[in-house]
Amino acid sequence: MQEKIKRIKTEIAKAVVGQEEMIDALLIGLFCEGHILLEGVPGLAKTTTVKAFSSAMELDFSRIQFTPDLLPSDIVGAEVYDPKSSVFKIKKGPLFTQILLADEINRSPSKVQSALLEAMQEKQVTIGAESFKLPRPFMVLATQNPLEQEGVYALPEAQLDRFMMKLKIEHNSEDEELEIMRRIATKSSKLISAVCSIDDVNKISQEINEVHIDEELEKYIIKLVRATRQANTDVKYGVSPRASIDLYRASKAHAYMEGKSFVTPVDVLAMVYLVFRHRIGLSYEARAKGMGSDDVLKNIIESIEIP
């Protein structure tokens, strides 16, 4: 299956230049049935990458543009009255898909964002008195604009905790940006072929579950989690138990992606920032010092001995 993963990346590269970390995170999220939050200024190919990703994976894809006037029923669907039959019928919303792109998710207030919570956690949607199972796999890929920008809302902590990982997307390198300019100007981007089926995804997920992780590394993950909750002037609140589960699964997937049959401390450290950064609450003192969540996590990680 390693060759299959290489083919997926090759197909995505037809439409996306660089952004290898984002592509790896999307693959890990899909194989581990986790949701991904992508943060960055507009124009960094977040949406393009997600579209290319769904095309290469041969999965159903829907996109929702979050706006201040969006309603929960616009996402999940609603009961619609049919005058011919004099009965209410269910009209399903765009949430009923396999890969959902929630574009600029923090431009809508929390009432709309909360409509995603049941779907993200329970993999089902309730419309009226009925509950409907979502297709599998189901994955939410949400793009978020930095909070410094106008017209954005902070996501509720409960919703942030449903995201397996949060990526901070940066600008491409100079050479990559040159390649992007040439591709777009000359319209030389190639069509993406589907190279991975649902059966392939299920098989890879099973192989990831079989990746070995030593007991010492399991204890190390718990130490990292609990260290974020200890008394610290820079931390308002630490990560949830969901973070330990996600870091455990992500570390296995990272090792698998690197072609290994066992997890090493390198795999855990490669994933810990992505899994923890959106779950940790910074104190007023930390913000006053200009510290971000990655700065605080760096201090915490360095205080714990690596097995």
Q: Which of 123, 151, 186 is the last residue of a domain?
A: 186
* pLDDT tens-digit map of 70-119: 888 888 888 787 777 777 778 888 888 888 888 888 777 777 777 788 78
User: 203: buried, middle or exposed (CB in 10 Å: 19+, 13-18, 0-12)?
Assistant: middle
Checking if the pLDDT of 46 tops 80, the result is: no
Going from the C-alpha of 119 to that of each of 10, 70, 122, 131, 159, the distances in angstroms are 31, 17, 6, 11, 11
Classify residue 289: in a domain, yes or no: yes
Give yes or no: residues 172 and 91 share one domain: yes
Q: How confident is the model at residue 252 (pLDDT cuts 50, 70, 90)?
A: very high
Q: Pull the structure tokens for residue 109.
A: 């207030």
Least confident of 110-119, 134-143, 264-273: 110-119
Give yes or no: residues 171 and 260 share one domain: no
Give yes or no: residues 156 and 240 share one domain: no
Give yes or no: residues 154 and 31 share one domain: yes
Give yes or no: residues 135 and 25 share one domain: yes
* pLDDT tens-digit map of 167-220: 887 776 777 777 777 777 666 566 777 778 788 888 889 999 999 999 999 999
Classify residue 19: in a domain, yes or no: yes
Q: Which of 151, 186, 221 is the last residue of a domain?
A: 186
Domain of 238, CATH number, reads: 1.10.8.80
Of residues 86 and 67, the one with the higher pLDDT is 67
Give yes or no: residues 173 and 248 share one domain: no
Q: How confident is the model at residue 249 (pLDDT cuts 50, 70, 90)?
A: very high
Checking if the pLDDT of 53 tops 90, the result is: no
Give yes or no: residues 282 and 249 share one domain: yes
Checking if the pLDDT of 254 tops 90, the result is: yes
Classify residue 282: in a domain, yes or no: yes
Classify residue 195: in a domain, yes or no: no
Question: Is residue 96 within 8 Å of residue 134, measured between CB atoms?
Answer: yes
Of residues 10 and 29, the one with the higher pLDDT is 29
Classify residue 205: in a domain, yes or no: no
Domain of 166, CATH number, reads: 3.40.50.300
Classify residue 110: in a domain, yes or no: yes
Give yes or no: residues 223 and 298 share one domain: yes
- Domain range for residue 150? 2-186
Classify residue 204: in a domain, yes or no: no
- Looking at the 3D structure of the chain, how many domains does it have? 2
Give yes or no: residues 34 and 127 share one domain: yes
Q: How confident is the model at residue 152 (pLDDT cuts 50, 70, 90)?
A: low
What distance in Å separates the CA atoms of residue 105 and residue 84, rounded to the nearest whole number? 37
Give yes or no: residues 122 and 29 share one domain: yes
Q: Residue 35's beta-bridge partner residues?
A: 163
Report the pLDDT value the prediction gives residue 194, as an integer from 0 to 100: 76
Give yes or no: residues 147 and 230 share one domain: no
Residue of 130, 143, 140, 141 whose CA lies nearest to 169: 143
Q: What is the arithmetic mean of pLDDT over 299-303? A: 89
Classify residue 201: in a domain, yes or no: no
- Helix extents (H) in 143-214: 157-160, 174-186, 198-209
Give yes or no: residues 147 and 22 share one domain: yes
Report the pLDDT value the prediction gives residue 225, as an integer from 0 to 100: 93
